[in-house]
Amino acid sequence: MENSNLNYNTQLDRILFKEYGRNVHKLVQHALTIEDRKERTAVAKAIVNLMALLHPNLKNIEEFKHKLWDQLHAIAGFKLDVDSPYPVPENYEQVLQKRAHVPYPSSKMKLRHYGLNIETLVQKTINTEHPRKRAELTRIIVYYMNLVHKSWNRESNMNDDIIKSDLKTLSAGQLDADWAEQYIIEHGGQKQVIQISINQNRPQPGSNQQQQGMGQRRKKKRGNRNKKNKQ
């Protein structure tokens, strides 16, 4: 049964950088909706890390990192207000001049809505022999999968079991989210590697729920000011 909330790529706008796939572009659009600047910046950094997976031999080169951030801002239409490590480029032409060409992969995907970038990271993790590194990469994959679900299908009721099941499908049963979490905790790591909330019930900008929440916060601030004035 097809999910009516998912769109076919032929129905969507053209993407600016095909080598990164539509999911990366969707994640950038999702980042634009995040109100908290700290969380928005964290998501932006995570997206850049995902983009870097397509250039494994260049990821530690400073000029290359600069290019990725420029491309991120271009995808966002230069509207992404984050703590970027580099100046925001002025226009698309400035970004396209620095563009590094990467052939877009054409192999068949197991779960199309996650995109080939996720599958690339899954394969890299499977090939990682060091247990700690394997566990950390597995947690990063789970984090990205949550982001993809959030950006593609805001109306779905997402839960951890779906993500865990999809991870096993993508990895042919070779990666396990519960094992990764338990391994890192047992070896002195924190429970969460990336402190970003992926709240499926987050009110969207302009929604009645968001406006009500903002009104309540304003009332609370006015109440606090009145108390101070009385003192």
| pTM for this entry | 0.49
- What's the CA gap between 164 and 172, in Å, rounded? 12
Residue showing tokens 């779906």: 162
- Three-class SS state of 209: helix
**54 vs 157, which has greater pLDDT?**
54
- Label residue 198 by pLDDT band (50, 70, 90): very low
- One-letter identity of residue 74: A
Range name among 19-23, 100-104, 165-169, 196-200 with the lowest pLDDT average: 196-200
Average pLDDT over residues 190-217: 44
Residue 182 near residue 188 (C-beta atoms within 8 A):
no
Residue 184 near residue 193 (C-beta atoms within 8 A):
yes
Residue 118 near residue 170 (C-beta atoms within 8 A):
yes
**Nearest CA-CA partner of 173 in 119, 126, 120:** 126
Average pLDDT over residues 200-210: 42
